[in-house]
Structures are given as structure tokens and as C-alpha cells.
Amino acid sequence: MTVDQKVRQTLAELGVTESAGVVALFAEVCETMERERRELVNRVAADKAERDRACKELRDRWLARKNGLLSLVDERWLKKAPRELKPVVGQHFNALRKASEQLEVGVLAREMKCRVAASAGAVLEARSPIVAGTTVLSGVSPDLTLPSIRRPLGSMHPVTRVLREIEEIFIALGFRIETGPEIETVEYNFDALNIPETHPSRDDWDTLYVDEKTVLRTHTSPVQIRAMRKYGAPLYVIAPGKVYRHDKPDSSHATMFHQVEGLAVDRDITFADLKGTLDYFAKRFFGEKVRTSFHPSFFPFTEPSGEVAISCTLCDGRGCRVCKESGWLEVMGCGMVHPEVLRQGGIEPEEFTGWAFGMGVERYAMMKYGIDDIQLFFQNDVRFLKQF
């Protein structure tokens, strides 16, 4: 429906019952008016009589007492507005009337003359502002306490935020970022990592299979092997990425999540480097006051293997519900790279030693942002996303 048709109907006939609809209607009218005005003043017409005729035509179309578009708005919209909409219609109508002063023949003619002069070679001044919003149109000083006009900003996914933070800490220490495929061979995902099919440790990873020889990687550890084979030693890499488990989804399990694996291989690398670096990492990530504790664990690809616990960030180690009264939270697995794994990576274990770690990114995000359900990360509810 054109504006010409709309102004011939009442708000009720147009189905407008709320002020938002009124705002939109007036905006449309204003835009149309401004467009027609611009079209006119942009028309190059040297003949004064012709100019005057065109100006009068536009002026009459809008401002004529009888059947001018503004008088129609007055009659159909304002006078027939339901009582509750009257104030808002009135306010916008006033603004429209103020703006329509630009359509008076004298103003239009002046503007057109100026254009003619410009097209004759003079430099134009800034074009008259394009008027779109009703508050600007009103011409009275606006209420500055109204909400601002904001360009909506986007946001990074919390997992990405945490991932970037982790990456940056290790990049600053001189590590490089390395990635690998999510669809892995059994060889890279298990065999080369000292996890033979014949050993029950294989069952520690509930695996999604594509076929007998192909899996969705259960950890980013295969990137260790790929990086060692690609670069040799010395080597300092972290491998962030998606991993998959055959786990029924619940508030603490997801079939897909993110891990960061780290690997340092060099001469003169010891367990002390592992401890020192991960303690540094924990303090950078969780806060300077955090203390770390290391205790033995088992991973087929590291020996000795360990778990890193940090002093509970909630209770500062005194014991609370979150840390199950222990004062400690386990945050990652780590260990000295198993000699067999170094050999699989083509690195001589008598010459080089290495340390490695693996951490779950979602868990870190949960700790950092107070999230208690891992499923929230992958539902992508905008009410969740907009908080990051």
C-alpha cells in the first residue's frame, strides 16, 4: 500500500493499535516526503517558470488545505485516533508539520536554484541532511534522557573466549598453534599414543567410529604425533580443537567438546618444566593467588603421568560445595611424554625429553563464568550468547 493510500484510511483500518505502529507509519510518510523533495531539488531545470511550477505541484500535493496529504493525516489519523494513541499521533503529526515547512515553495525554489548553480560548476556544500528519525524531525530540542541509538554489537562464544585466552598464554611462552583433523585414523588417535586395542585403557575413551580404522578423535593428542613427525624436536606446540565422545549428553557430558593439548619436546626438559609451566598457566588463567598441586595419574602416552589441581577459586582452598570440601579442583591431565610416543613421533627418547598436558575448554569456561550445564554451550541460545 502506498503512502497515498494509507493516509486515506484510519489507524484502525490500517490495523495500527500500538504506538510502535504509529511511529512506523509516520516514518514512512516522512521518508516519502523527503524523497520526493530530494527528487525535485535534484532535478536540473534552468527555466524559472518550470521550476516554480514543479515546486508548487509538490507543495500542493502535501500541504494543500483540501486533500493535501498532511490534511488527510490530520483528518484520518489524528482526529480519528483512539484516545490512548492521541498523544503519540499528535506529537508525530507536529513533527511532520514542522518538517513539511521544507516544502514551502520559497524554500524549495531556493534549494533548486542552489542546485542549478552547483551543476554549473560550483562546489556543493554538504548535502542537506537526510531526515529519517522522528526525534530529529521534531525540531525541538530532544529529550536527551531517551535511550541511545546503538549499533547492536555481536559477541564471541564463551568457548572461543576461553580458548583464545589459553592460546595467548602459551603463545607468549613461545608455543605455536597446531591443528589436525577431527576425523582421525585409529593409528593416530590410539596406536601411536601407546593405547593398543588389546589394553583396557582403550576403553577410557568412549569412541565414535566412522569405520574400523577411522574415528572421531577422542582427544587432540593425535596432533602431538602429527606435529612431532612434521617438525621434529625441539618442539613447543599447543593443539586446540573439537573432540568427540560416545557419551550420552547431560549437564556434564557432551558428545562434542573442545580440548587444548600442549607438548614441549627439547633437550633438558624435565618434570620441573611441566610443573613450573602449568603452575604459571594456572596463575595467569585463574588468578595470581591460585596454588597448584600435582598428583600421580595414568595416561598411556605419558610417564610419569599426573593430574593438576588448583586451589578452589570459590573458597580459596578452605573447602566448599563446588570442590566437594576438598579445597582443590582438578583442572588437567599432564605428564612426561612416554618414550614410546616420542619414538612414534620420530624423536629419539635418549636425546630428547618432553612434557604434555590436556585440558577441557568447556570446563574452564564453566569455572570462569559460573556455568553449570555443558549443554548450554552448544544450544546457542541467544540469551546465553549475549552475556559474553
Partner 1 sequence: MRILLSWLREFVEIPFEPRKLQADLTSIGLSVEAVTSSGSDWLLDVEVTTNRPDCLSHYGVAREIAAAYRTTIRPLKFEVQESAEAASERVSIEISDSSLCARYCGRIVEGVRVGPSPEWLARRLEAIGQRPINNIADITNYVLMELGHPLHAFDFDRIQDRRIIVRRARAGELLQTLDGIERRLTANDLVIADAARPVALAGVMGGQNSEISPQTRVVLLESAWFDPVSVRRTAKSQGLHTEASHRFERGADIGMAPVALDRAAAMVAELSGGKVLRGRLDVYPAPQNREAIVLRQSEIARVLGTEIAPSEVERILVALGFAVEAAAAGWCAQPPSFRLDVRREVDLIEEVARQFGYDRLPARVRSVSPRLERDVEREKILALSRLLTGLGYREIIPSSMVDPKDNALFTNRPPVALANPLSQDASVLRSTSLVSMASVLAFNTDRGQKDLSFFELGKTYEARANAHPAEHRVLALGLTGNRRPPSVHEPAREAKFFDLKGDVESVLELFELPELRFEEERCLAYEEGLAGRFVSGTTVLAALGRLKPDIQRRFKIRAEAWLAEIDLDQLLAFPLKQPMLRPFSRFPTVERDLSLVVPMGLPYRRIAEAIARLGIEEIYSVEPLERKAAAELPAGLVPEGHASLFLHVTFQSLTRTLTGDEVDEAAGKIYSALESLGVRLRA
Within residues 308-347, the interface with Zn ion by CB under 5 A covers 312, 314-315, 320, 322-323
Please select the residue that binds partner 1; options are 152, 288, 370, 372, rule is CB under 8 A.
Answer: 152
User: Could you identify the residue written with the cell 547431560?
Assistant: 250
**Contacted by 320, from Zn ion, partner 1, none: CB < 5 to 8 Å by type:** Zn ion
Q: Does 132 bind partner 1 (CB under 8 A)?
A: yes
Comparison of 79 and 229: residue with beta carbon closer to partner 1:
229
User: Could you identify the residue written with the cell 577410557?
Assistant: 204
Comparison of 105 and 320: residue with beta carbon closer to Zn ion:
320
| Contact region with Zn ion (CB under 5 A), list: 29-37, 192-200, 267-275, 305-313 | 305-313
Q: Which residues contact 26 (CB under 8 A, 6 or more apart)?
A: 92, 93, 95, 96, 134
Tell me the residue type at 350. E
Comparison of 56 and 318: residue with beta carbon closer to Zn ion:
318
Q: Does 248 bind partner 1 (CB under 8 A)?
A: yes
How far is the C-alpha of 113 from the C-alpha of 35, rounded, in Å? 18
Q: Does 121 bind partner 1 (CB under 8 A)?
A: yes
What is the layout of strands, in order, in the sheet containing 328-337? 176-177, 235-244, 256-266, 353-360, 328-337, 302-311, 292-299
| Contact region with partner 1 (CB under 8 A), list: 7-15, 50-58, 145-153, 218-226 | 145-153
Q: Does 353 bind partner 1 (CB under 8 A)?
A: yes
**Please, what is the minimum distance in Å from the beta carbon of residue 373 to Zn ion?**
19
Comparison of 79 and 253: residue with beta carbon closer to partner 1:
253
Q: Does 122 bind partner 1 (CB under 8 A)?
A: yes
To the nearest 10°, the Cα dihedral for 360, 363, 368, 371?
150
Interaction with partner 1 in 95-114: which residues (CB under 8 A)?
none
Q: Does 230 bind partner 1 (CB under 8 A)?
A: no
Please select the residue that binds partner 1; options are 8, 60, 201, 315, rule is CB under 8 A.
Answer: 201
What is the layout of strands, in order, in the sheet containing 183-185? 183-185, 214-216, 209-211
Q: Does 64 bind partner 1 (CB under 8 A)?
A: no
User: Could you identify the residue written with the cell 562546489?
Assistant: 123
Interaction with partner 1 in 155-194: which residues (CB under 8 A)?
155-157, 159-160, 164, 167, 171-177, 181-183, 185
The number of angstroms, rounded, from the C-alpha of 191 to the middle of its chain's C-alpha atoms is: 38
Question: 153: phi > 0 → left, psi -120 to 50 → alpha, else beta; which?
Answer: beta
Main-chain dihedrals φ then ψ at residue 119, nearest 5 degrees: -70, -15
How far is the C-alpha of 54 from the C-alpha of 40, rounded, in Å? 7
Please select the residue that binds partner 1; options are 101, 250, 270, 346, rule is CB under 8 A.
Answer: 270
Q: Which residues contact 347 (CB under 8 A, 6 or more apart)?
A: 228, 232, 233, 265, 354
Q: Which residues contact 168 (CB under 8 A, 6 or more apart)?
A: none
Give strand pairing partners of 183.
Answer: 216
Q: Does 294 bind partner 1 (CB under 8 A)?
A: yes
**Please, what is the minimum distance in Å from the beta carbon of residue 315 to Zn ion?**
3
How far is the C-alpha of 118 from the C-alpha of 114, rounded, in Å? 6
Q: Does 124 bind partner 1 (CB under 8 A)?
A: yes
**Please, what is the minimum distance in Å from the beta carbon of residue 312 to Zn ion?**
3
How far is the C-alpha of 331 from the C-alpha of 287, rounded, in Å? 14
Comparison of 79 and 261: residue with beta carbon closer to partner 1:
261
H-helix or E-strand spanning residue 334: strand 328-337
Comparison of 274 and 367: residue with beta carbon closer to partner 1:
274
**Please, what is the minimum distance in Å from the beta carbon of residue 154 to partner 1?**
4
Comparison of 45 and 314: residue with beta carbon closer to Zn ion:
314
Comparison of 79 and 199: residue with beta carbon closer to partner 1:
199
| Contact region with partner 1 (CB under 8 A), list: 65-73, 96-104, 222-230, 234-242 | 234-242
93-119: b (≥16 Cβ within 10 Å) or e:
bebbeebbebbebeebbebbeebbeee
Please select the residue that binds partner 1; options are 71, 94, 102, 134, rule is CB under 8 A.
Answer: 134
Binding site for Zn ion (CB under 5 A): 312, 314-315, 320, 322-323
